[in-house]
Amino acid sequence: MSPITKESFVIQGLAGKKLRGTVKINGAKNAALKAMAAAVLFDGPVTLNNIPDTNDVGVMSDVLIKLGAKVEKKSPNTLTIDSTFISKTDIDSELAQNMRASVVLTGPLLVRYKKVSFPSPGGCVIGTRPIDMFIEGYKKMGATIDPNEEMVYSISAKNGVSGADVFFNIQTVGGTETLMLAAVLGKGKTILRNCAMEPEIVNVAEWLNTAGAKIKGAGTTTIEIEGTGGKLLNSKISYTAIPDRIEAGSFLILGATCAEELMIEDCRPDHMESVINLLKDSGATITTTGNSITVKAAANPKPFNIRTHEYPGFPTDIQAPMVTYLTQAHGESMVFETIFEGRFKYVEDLSKMGATITIMNPREILIKGPTALAELPEKDELRAHDIRAGFAIVMAALLGKGTFTVHNIHLVDRGYERLEEKLTKLGASIKRTQT
Ligand code: EPZ
């Protein structure tokens, strides 16, 4: 699996040159990771297709392998996972601390093996990211939470996971997916209300239904699951991840900033309406088919306000790349981050490059554009703070004048497959170096 190394990107600013060409979008990270967790619900080796070859997939594979599962990479984007030989249900602390998605595994492990332990997932750079709603849901499903020694949650369900009626006080993607997976093999009917409606949830639920699960309402705020009572799912039914709407959105924003013409293939424009509409209104030329988008940058992009929102609203995951876009818009834009309380760490880096951004409060910033983005004095460094902020800084470097070094790009590798190769094909000058 791809190791985490300390590497950087060295990027030459385009200095007015335009990108052009075609980029193919990978499978959705935030669907693939949940499908990997759901493999624990199956009666043998199950094949997962269109899986992105990224660090997070590598970490999830390592978590499963440490539990005793067999994980094989048949090709860079195809995995088989056989959970038959799982012998442990304590999720590796160090790996779990590095990747929030590992908490989704607790659902399948609890319902199949009646117990699971995992570290309290540390907050990460974008916020505290508690799991109170997971815990409340497990209690309603008949589980008990053992005293939380050394920040480890030990959960057991001696009589199995039973049906429950769970209302999420906040729409939670991970909470919706995790309790949905726990209910699939449970006893009786579970109703989940105020669910997240992300397409990645629908993608996994549809696969599980073809393999014997009984899930109704995925993609709406109410999901009903009729548990199989312990009967495992049919591993002959393989999974294929939907295109990554966040990767596609990232490239769309990049193209709307500096492409003569960029074709984005293997994507789902119908999962990206809020981003497409905002960029069209701002002046980009965008045409779409069922699985592709063509974008041409606007000469004088207009500013606009953003309020991040649960799907199908504007995704918090492309807030950072869009802020980089707005540094080039002609006027003032406000961004209100409603989902996470700490998702503006990258603003400091953009400001060092010359952007005019005022942090009004931890959830709101004001951007004034357009501003030239220039290389930093020698001593200053640019870094990726999280997956998506990393893309935003890479994009800013491309828009800038001079040479830029972006550190900690292992974080970018968590969510973008070989980003430098894709950008080079579009005409960018970007090299990966050891730090
Ligand atoms: C998923 O995280 C994604 N990760 C995130 O993408 C994405 O930003 C997020 O959904 C929102 O769309 C994966 O799918 C692996 P939430 P998740 O539970 O499930 C609060 C990326 O870059 N909350 O929907 O962890 C939470 O703190 C990542 O790919 C509770 O308070 O997000 C947040 O404020 C970054 N208690 C809000 O809900 C809980 O028990 C939404 O979080 C659970 C969540």
Query: Would you give per-residue pLDDT tens digits along the chain (435 residues)?
Result: 444 458 999 999 998 899 999 999 999 999 999 999 999 999 999 999 999 999 999 999 999 999 999 999 999 999 999 999 999 999 999 999 888 899 999 999 999 999 999 988 765 677 777 889 999 999 999 999 987 666 789 999 999 999 999 999 999 999 999 999 999 999 999 999 999 999 999 999 999 999 999 999 999 999 999 999 999 999 999 999 999 999 999 999 999 999 999 999 999 999 999 999 999 999 999 999 999 999 999 999 999 999 999 999 999 999 999 999 999 999 999 999 999 988 999 999 999 999 999 999 999 999 999 999 998 877 678 999 999 999 999 999 999 999 999 999 999 999 999 999 999 999 999 999 987
**Residue whose CA lies nearest to ligand 1 atom number 8:** 317
Return the ligand 1 atom nearest residue 131 CA.
40
Atom of ligand 1 nearest to the CA of 311: 12
Q: What's the rounded Cα separation, in Å, for the pair 130 and 52?
A: 27
Q: Which residues line ligand 1 (CB under 6 A)?
A: 29-30, 33, 100-101, 127, 129-134, 170, 172-175, 196, 316-317, 339-340, 387-388, 415
Closest-CA residue, ligand 1 atom 42, reads: 172
Edge-first strand listing for the sheet containing 19-24 = 19-24, 259-265, 292-296, 285-288
Contact predicate 172/286, CB 8 Å: no
Question: Of residues 124, 195, 258, 267, which has the active-site annotation?
Answer: 124
Distance separating alpha carbons of residues 181 and 196, to the nearest angstrom: 14
Return the best residue to mutate from 100, 172, 310, 319 for the ligand 1 pocket (most ligand atoms within 8 A of CB). Answer: 172
Ligand 1 mean position, distance from CA 174 (Å): 6
The residue written with tokens 């997956």 in the block is 387
Distance (Å, whole) CA 367 – CA 180: 40
Q: Are 317 and 388 in contact (CB under 8 A)?
A: yes
Protein residue closest via CA to atom 4 of ligand 1: 30
Q: How far from chain centre, in Å, is Cα 249?
A: 12
Residue 258 known to be catalytic: no
Please choose, from the candidates 272, 269, 239, the residue with its C-alpha nearest in 3D space to the C-alpha of residue 34: 239
In contact, 96 and 63? CB cutoff 8 Å:
yes
Ligand 1 centroid to Cα of residue 175, in Å, is 8
Q: Whose CA is nearest to atom 19 of ligand 1?
A: 174
